[in-house]
Structure 1
Amino acid sequence: MKQLYDRYDRLHNYIRVSITDRCPLRCVYCMPKEGLPFFPSDRVLSQDEIVQMVQNFAEMGVSKVRFTGGEPLLRTDVAEIISRVHDIPEIDDISVTTNGLYLARKAEALKEAGLDRLNISLDTFKADRYKKITRGGNIKQVLKGIEVASKLGFMIKLNVVVIKNQNDDEILDFLNYTRDHNVNIRFIEFMPIGNSKEVWKKEYVGLKSVFDVCQENGIEYQPITLRGNGPSENFKIKDATGSFGLIHPISNKFCETCNRLRITPDGYVKACLYWGEEINIRKAIPDKPEFQRLIQQALDNKPLNHEMALTDADKVINKAPTWRHMSQIGG
């Protein structure tokens, strides 16, 4: 079986497939306040295209797939996509990143389709603050979705983007949540994608602050290993049911071990989240040799690092940062 290596000898066995750019929320770190013009339906990959594309990747050594958006649960065929991908023998791990608003009513169908894991965005426990951060979201729907998914036995990770003066005062609340909830709280550094550098610098919080909160409150913790943890460094509070993790692309570079490729909803492959380098692979999906050539081309252009980490920027083929907002990439 062909396997995917870039010029730095990194093996790529993981793809993140954004199946829509649409989302009912306008989260401050993901989309501008006024929203974005969404792609017309014919510009978004069809179900058959997605499944065939994943099959192509599976024959190139990919075994792990995450479906993202926008909000992937907005697609009425999301369970069918997952079911068909679950039937591909080489794929042994399927996950979804969701805002959780539609999870309560779709969780059972997702479980039956073969979904393994859920990443749910939840940046605060406070209803008024959640509404402000998401520009209109109802936290009760998300909490209900988490409750339903937990009862169904999903492995759940809660994604918390830490932003100065917006939710950084809730770090202790999230840590304490792991004491009696079987979830992995993932604290994520705010990234300068779709935001001006000036705004980002004012709102960025380094994740050393999580350890500072632990020390200030006498919280004992130890490192652990979790299935499918990706770039997250994971820890467990003594006697806690759940765990917490740190994803820090700014303060602690993880690019050197990056093993993923991102596919945008309109069929472009992005080897690096930050840079504008992307290749249209949609027309090549039925043509496996051409598909493989384009994917290898994307990997050959992949830098060792990104500008967010301020190293190796001179080796990037296309030095322009991505024009896309996070909702148009899938994170």
Structure 2
Amino acid sequence: MLPLTDTYQRKFYYLRLSITDVCNFRCTYCLPDGYRPSKDREAFLSVEEVARVAQAFGQLGTTKIRLTGGEPSMRRDFSDIIAAIRQQPAIQQIAMTTNGYRLAKEAANWRTAGLTAVNVSLDSLDARQFHQITGQNKFTEVMAGIDASLAAGFPVVKINVVLMKHLTQQLPEFLAWIKDRPLQLRFIELMETGEGNDYFAKHHLSGEHLRRQLVDQGWQIVTRAADAGPAQIFIHPDYLGQIGLIMPYDKGFCDSCNRLRVSAIGQLHLCLFGEQGIDLRDLLQADAQQSALQERIQLSLAQKKQTHFLHQGMTGMARNLSYIGG
């Protein structure tokens, strides 16, 4: 099956599928006041609906699905969701992005269910600062979860770090941490959202600042796979770990876009910073609707814009990064 292709000839192999917008952390850059459910919130996608989404995208050329939130492991049926997606032969990779609070107990079980990759959010190696950023005193549990993920056999565990001004002082500590560990440290440039304008203005640091430092220290960029995320990956002969750099404000960032998003209530989002989503929920109620579902997905790509317009301060419908999975 040929991959989904938009009017700019970008091909989409990668789906970020949110299964909840609930999160138990209160990260300062995302949910500083904690999770606030909407009074008229729809129910989240069921396991059966998730399976139909995976089947439709798989038959349209998608090879990778990343489960996101909120915190996806807040779902009690999370293992069932993984197993349902695993049944789709076209989906070769099933990844998750997590705050890591359940990893120590569940990493091996999720690996058995079919999970192939783990990204853990970890914005500081200092327990006190971790608590300040996340609102949770769970640094020890998250670090244990990272070790458990490696022990469970995940080839590379990716660590997501939001790049902010204070992190420049911690870079040597982060580099020392990955010197002898098969971790991919991914620095993600802070993005402006509708509820985070002031925070962005105070803390944003351009990824170009870090990229220059890495090149000066001998790190070399490598070619990314067709279904890989947007990170520029750097390797160094003296390090077992890798570094990824995600720079949404970099010129040409959207040129290589290869991912689409479906929210926890079944709306297709063509961009993290787009406007209102395209409803798929009405076509997720029966297997017989698969052809109509695939047609709606394909036709929707004609609406995908060339860029996200973040440079103009247009954050679209993204109130916060938990809304459709970051």
How far the C-alpha of 1:2 sits from its partner, in A, is 5.7
| Mapped partners of 2:81, 2:56: distance in 1 | 15
Q: Is the 8 A contact 1:161 1:189 kept in 2?
A: yes
Does residue 24 of structure 1 match 2:19?
no
Q: Is the 8 A contact 1:189 1:247 kept in 2?
A: yes
What is the identity, as a one-letter code, of the residue corresponding to 1:325?
N
Which moved further from structure 2: 279-288 or 290-299? Answer: 290-299
| Mapped partners of 2:170, 2:37: distance in 1 | 33
Q: Which residue does the alignment assign to 2:265? A: 266
What is the identity, as a one-letter code, of the residue corresponding to 2:273?
Y
Does residue 223 of structure 1 match 2:221?
yes
Q: What TM-score, normalized by structure 2, do the two folds share?
A: 0.91
Q: Which residue does the alignment assign to 1:160? A: 161
| Mapped partners of 1:265, 1:272: distance in 2 | 15
Which moved further from structure 2: 259-268 or 172-181? Answer: 172-181
| Mapped partners of 1:194, 1:136: distance in 2 | 24
Does residue 321 of structure 1 match 2:321?
no
Q: Is the 8 A contact 1:189 1:249 kept in 2?
A: yes
SS at match of 1:66: strand
Q: Gaps (5+ residues) in structure 2?
A: none
SS at match of 2:170: helix
What is the identity, as a one-letter code, of the residue corresponding to 2:62?
V
Q: Which residue does the alignment assign to 1:124? A: 124
| Mapped partners of 1:52, 1:161: distance in 2 | 33
How far the C-alpha of 1:54 sits from its partner, in A, is 0.6
Question: Residue 104 and residue 89 in structure 1: after superposition, are their counterparts in 2 closer, same or farther (change >3 A)?
Answer: same
Deviations for 1:35-82, whole angstroms, at most 9, x for unmatched residues? 321688861000111011111111111111110111111112111211
Deviations for 1:70-95, whole angstroms, at most 9, x for unmatched residues? 11111121112112211211111111
| Mapped partners of 2:185, 2:198: distance in 1 | 28
Q: Is the 8 A contact 2:193 2:315 kept in 1?
A: no
Does residue 301 of structure 1 match 2:324?
no
How far the C-alpha of 1:323 sits from its partner, in A, is 4.6
Does residue 11 of structure 1 match 2:6?
no
Q: Is the 8 A contact 2:160 2:185 kept in 1?
A: yes
SS at match of 2:17: strand
Q: Is the 8 A contact 1:179 1:237 kept in 2?
A: no
| Mapped partners of 1:108, 1:21: distance in 2 | 24
| Mapped partners of 1:52, 1:179: distance in 2 | 42
Between the two proteins, the alignment pairs up a number of residues equal to 321
What is the identity, as a one-letter code, of the residue corresponding to 1:328?
Y
Q: Percent identity?
A: 34
Q: How does 1:70-149 map to 2 (within 5 A)?
A: 70-149=70-149
Q: Is the 8 A contact 1:179 1:242 kept in 2?
A: yes
Does residue 150 of structure 1 match 2:145?
no
Q: How does 1:229-268 map to 2 (within 5 A)?
A: 229-268=228-267
Q: Which residue does the alignment assign to 1:177? A: 177
Q: Is the 8 A contact 2:28 2:133 kept in 1?
A: yes
How far the C-alpha of 1:130 sits from its partner, in A, is 0.5
Deviations for 1:216-242, whole angstroms, at most 9, x for unmatched residues? xx7322223466642111112332111
Deviations for 1:137-193, whole angstroms, at most 9, x for unmatched residues? 41111000001111122121000001223x332122212222111100001100002
What is the identity, as a one-letter code, of the residue corresponding to 1:108?
A
Question: Residue 102 and residue 38 in structure 1: after superposition, are their counterparts in 2 closer, same or farther (change >3 A)?
Answer: farther
What is the identity, as a one-letter code, of the residue corresponding to 2:282?
K
| Mapped partners of 1:65, 1:39: distance in 2 | 29
| Mapped partners of 2:179, 2:293: distance in 1 | 46
How far the C-alpha of 1:106 sits from its partner, in A, is 0.7
Q: What TM-score, normalized by structure 1, do the two folds share?
A: 0.90
| Mapped partners of 1:176, 1:323: distance in 2 | 35
What is the identity, as a one-letter code, of the residue corresponding to 1:265?
A
| Mapped partners of 2:50, 2:12: distance in 1 | 18
Q: Which residue does the alignment assign to 1:316? A: none
Question: Residue 52 and residue 230 in structure 1: after superposition, are their counterparts in 2 closer, same or farther (change >3 A)?
Answer: same
| Mapped partners of 1:20, 1:10: distance in 2 | 28
SS at match of 1:326: coil
Q: Is the 8 A contact 2:70 2:322 kept in 1?
A: yes
Q: Gaps (5+ residues) in structure 1?
A: 314-318
| Mapped partners of 1:75, 1:44: distance in 2 | 10
Which moved further from structure 2: 167-176 or 59-68? Answer: 167-176
Computed over aligned residues only, the root mean square deviation of the Cα atoms, in angstroms, reads 2.2
Question: Residue 275 and residue 229 in structure 1: after superposition, are their counterparts in 2 closer, same or farther (change >3 A)?
Answer: same
Q: Is the 8 A contact 1:64 1:92 kept in 2?
A: yes
Which moved further from structure 2: 199-208 or 10-19? Answer: 199-208
Q: Is the 8 A contact 1:270 1:298 kept in 2?
A: no
| Mapped partners of 1:31, 1:49: distance in 2 | 27
